Structure 1
Amino acid sequence: MQYDIFAVGDNVADYYPEQKRIYAGGGAYNTAVIGKRLNLKTAYYGAFGTDENAKFMYNTLKKEKVAYPVSDIRKGRNAVSIVEKNSGEANIKAVDKGVYKNLSLNENVLDLIKKSKIVHTNIYSYFEDYLAKLHYQTKLSFDFSYLRNKEYLEEILKKVDIAFFSEARQKEDQTAFIDWALQQGPEVVVLTRGGNSALLKSGQIELEIETQTIKTVDTLGAGDAFISAFLTSLIRDFKPDEPEKYYQLALKKAEQIAAKYCQINGSLGIFADRQEDVIIYNNIHA
């Protein structure tokens, strides 16, 4: 079966202590769910644990009607994070990866994944070793988030088609960085900048889309919503003879969907109450 988007990587139960609620999240997981909500045929691959949070995450995926064609259930704790909000700005304070520490994909699984129109993953997914096997077989989309490690970027950017970045935590020349990233090999580079405009470059095309002024409830997952909507627009609308027009359209739709998801709690608005606080045993976010 061919999927529109096959997202590979993290699923994370995001715990909000002040609410005593777990929200469904994780970059790859969010991208698959939001794509399905936008009426695409989406699939997700990632490892689930066997605890209460894992069951919540797994059942949510099924309720959202996202395909999970390759089952990977591992005994132990599901990935979980601690999230704190300040005036709507979500801050991840701690992350425990739980059972999700590596991937081991055989050729049959890769053959299934590469039939998709776009395969999306990110820096948290342990999928880097498989990119070369999928390159030129399908479109590869990669979320690099805030990462600016040049050695890592040089190795990965040459294997992907669509590169997404978040604004760097340190001051940088954003135009120069986008130019450099594009020179490494991808067809298009997109830089999102929180409440500021998003930037895109592809060949000689340079675009900027302004953000809406909204009352932000929760920023967690807004970048995933942007990515999912951008990819959805490319799949549905893009025509190579007018790339600038359709990149502009994709940016506009992505900004609209990201703004919508900033107005709900959690990445997806789906939660489960918890009576006891979540404890992080192995914080990789420290």
Structure 2
Amino acid sequence: MRLAAIGDNCVDFYERQGWAYPGGNAVNVAVYGRQLGMDTAYLGWIGTDNFGDMMQEKLKEQDVETVRMQRKEGKTAVTYIELLDGDRKFGEDFLNVLEGFQLSDEDLQYLAGFDCVHMAVWGQCDTCLGRLPHKVKISYDFSNKYGEPKIEKLAPYIDYAFFSCEEDNTSTRELLKRVKELGAGCVTATLGENGSVAYDGKEFVTSGIAGTKVVDTLGAGDSYIAGFLSKALKGEPLKNCMEAGAKKAALTIGHFGAW
């Protein structure tokens, strides 16, 4: 399976500790997917600063294809993070060179060669939806942006929609059902320590977490998505996909930084 993750990248900077890790939703999904045996690529813009050097070097180390990753004059995107009892708290973030990111016709031609393209609500890639061949599956992470007006517009193009919620309750299930009815394929909500719940149009399926010691929750949702897709793109049952996501997330939260 070939998976391309497009759009956002950033350096996660733990200011108090002085730690800097490459990350961002799209970058993380590409790395986790490669770790799970998929051929993956990242497409986006990084800066010409030291953080850009680090991003390029680390993606190469992880064997993620970067032939369409471009370096733009300026600073790489940065997100400031504070760690409180193993739970990451996001502070200020600066898009920097990503501020003007857009996909070119050449980028779209490149993406047409993949089985699946993953993007997120803040990745500035929505314009590619509807412009890729129907054979290319679309994965989209809406995070906790449940009220985004563009959900209605984008849902018909999305095969795997992901949200970040807190509990498997009526509100969460109504959200999943609504997005499914708007035209999305399978809709899944990760619930932190409460596992995950998904809806395929016929039934709700639940899955628990894989037990582990929590060191840093950064990247948990992104790794869940990669684990899920590693099975979904092979046509495996929904429950298997969810369990694979939970297993990969458990590995991620057992160390500092996303990967």
What's the TM-score once normalised by structure 1's chain length? 0.86
1:36 — aligned with what?
Answer: 34
Pair 209,38 (structure 1): closer, same or farther in 2 beyond 3 Å: same
1:250 aligns with 2:241: yes
Contiguous gaps of at least 5 residues in structure 1: 240-245, 269-286
Contact between 1:43 and 1:68, CA under 8 Å: does it hold in 2?
A: yes
Q: Within 5 Å, give how 1:25-174 maps onto structure 2.
A: 25-134=23-132, 136-167=134-165, 173-174=171-172
CA distance, structure 2, for counterparts of residue 71 and residue 26 of structure 1: 14
- Say which of 208, 211, 217 aligns to 2:209: 211
Q: Which has the higher contact order (CA 8 A, sep 6+)?
A: 1
Pair 62,150 (structure 1): closer, same or farther in 2 beyond 3 Å: closer
Contact between 2:103 and 2:125, CA under 8 Å: does it hold in 1?
A: no
Matched position secondary structure for 1:134: coil
Larger radius of gyration: 1
Matched position secondary structure for 2:190: strand
What do residues 212-250 of structure 1 show as CA deviations (whole Å, max 9, x unaligned)? Answer: 3432111111000000011011224x25xxxxxx11111
Matched position secondary structure for 1:253: helix
**Structure 1 residue 28: deviation in Å?**
0.1
CA RMSD of aligned residues (A): 1.7
CA distance, structure 2, for counterparts of residue 72 and residue 21 of structure 1: 25
**Structure 1 residue 266: deviation in Å?**
0.7
Matched position secondary structure for 1:99: helix
CA distance, structure 2, for counterparts of residue 161 and residue 66 of structure 1: 23
CA distance, structure 2, for counterparts of residue 12 and residue 73 of structure 1: 13
What do residues 162-214 of structure 1 show as CA deviations (whole Å, max 9, x unaligned)? Answer: 10000169x97111111101101111000001111200111203200011343
Contact between 1:79 and 1:96, CA under 8 Å: does it hold in 2?
A: yes
Contact between 2:41 and 2:65, CA under 8 Å: does it hold in 1?
A: yes
CA distance, structure 1, for counterparts of residue 154 and residue 9 of structure 2: 22
1:259 aligns with 2:250: yes
Contact between 2:87 and 2:217, CA under 8 Å: does it hold in 1?
A: yes
**Structure 1 residue 105: deviation in Å?**
2.5
Matched position secondary structure for 1:158: helix
Matched position secondary structure for 1:101: helix
Matched position secondary structure for 1:100: helix
> Comparing 41-50 with 107-116, which one deviates more in the overlay?
107-116
Query: How many aligned residue pairs are there?
Result: 258
Kindly provide the amino acid, as one letter, of the partner of residue 70 in structure 1.
R
CA distance, structure 2, for counterparts of residue 50 and residue 106 of structure 1: 20
What do residues 148-170 of structure 1 show as CA deviations (whole Å, max 9, x unaligned)? Answer: 2252211111221110000169x
Contact between 2:115 and 2:135, CA under 8 Å: does it hold in 1?
A: no
CA distance, structure 2, for counterparts of residue 181 and residue 71 of structure 1: 31
